[in-house]
């Protein structure tokens, strides 16, 4: 079995470990290798939106591909392969979060000398340690705010939205550096 395979769920377990018997109609798509030592595969269920469960290989039966599993036919007659096993950015990301994050970035483009930095200036490279240090400061601020304790930074009082955006920025920046390092090591 591999990621993207269509499977029938033969039997499984609930999150508390209790076993359950699946009906013959319970199907899904393998979406990733499970990180759990007891279970091999994470399966996205067809019948429950966005539900995933982990299974051992003997709890699953591979469904051989057939035309209905590999091709979608639209009302217009147009055809495409299925979306099984493909990343869904629309489902995984949230437009209001991304919009608020970019608004935060825009607010922080103004530099102390009055000039505006480009949105992608951070992609030129910032040391990972700088991202880690900044992220930790914002994590502490978020913790304080979550406890109802007012917090400030070197610009004055801060709010939870800006603080969470700052955490996202630093996590994204460090991940960018990690991925660049990995890409450079592989080239």
Please name the residue that has the structure tokens 């359950």: 20
Residues 9 and 27 sit within 8 Å (Cβ to Cβ)? yes
- State if pTM tops 0.85: no
Q: Tens digits of per-residue pLDDT, 131-185?
A: 999 999 999 999 999 999 999 988 899 999 999 999 999 999 999 999 999 999 8
Give the list of residues 6+ apart from residue 152 with CB closer than 8 angstroms, or none. Answer: 158
Condensed to tens digits (0 to 9), the pLDDT of residues 27-78 reads: 788 888 777 666 777 777 776 655 667 777 778 888 877 655 567 777 887 8
**Cα 1 from Cα 85, distance rounded (Å):** 13
């Amino acid at each position: 079995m591999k990621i993207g395979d269509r499977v029938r769920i033969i039997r499984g377990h609930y999150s508390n470990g209790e076993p359950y018997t699946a009906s013959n109609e319970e199907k899904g798509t393998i979406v990733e290798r499970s990180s759990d030592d007891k279970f091999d595969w994470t399966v996205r269920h067809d019948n429950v939106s966005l539900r995933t469960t982990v299974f051992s290989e003997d709890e699953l039966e591979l469904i051989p591909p057939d035309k209905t599993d590999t091709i979608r036919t639209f009302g217009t007659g147009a055809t495409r392969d299925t979306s099984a096993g493909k990343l869904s950015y629309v489902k995984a990301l949230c437009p209001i979060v991304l919009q608020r994050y970019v608004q935060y970035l825009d607010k922080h483009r103004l530099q102390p000398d009055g000039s505006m930095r480009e949105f992608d200036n951070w992609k030129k490279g910032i040391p990972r340690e700088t991202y880690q240090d900044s992220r930790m400061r914002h994590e502490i601020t978020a913790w304080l705010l979550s406890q109802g304790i007012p917090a400030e930074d070197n610009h004055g009082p801060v709010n939870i939205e800006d603080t969470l955006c700052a955490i996202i920025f630093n996590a994204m920046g460090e991940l960018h550096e990690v991925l660049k390092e990995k890409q450079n090591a592989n080239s």
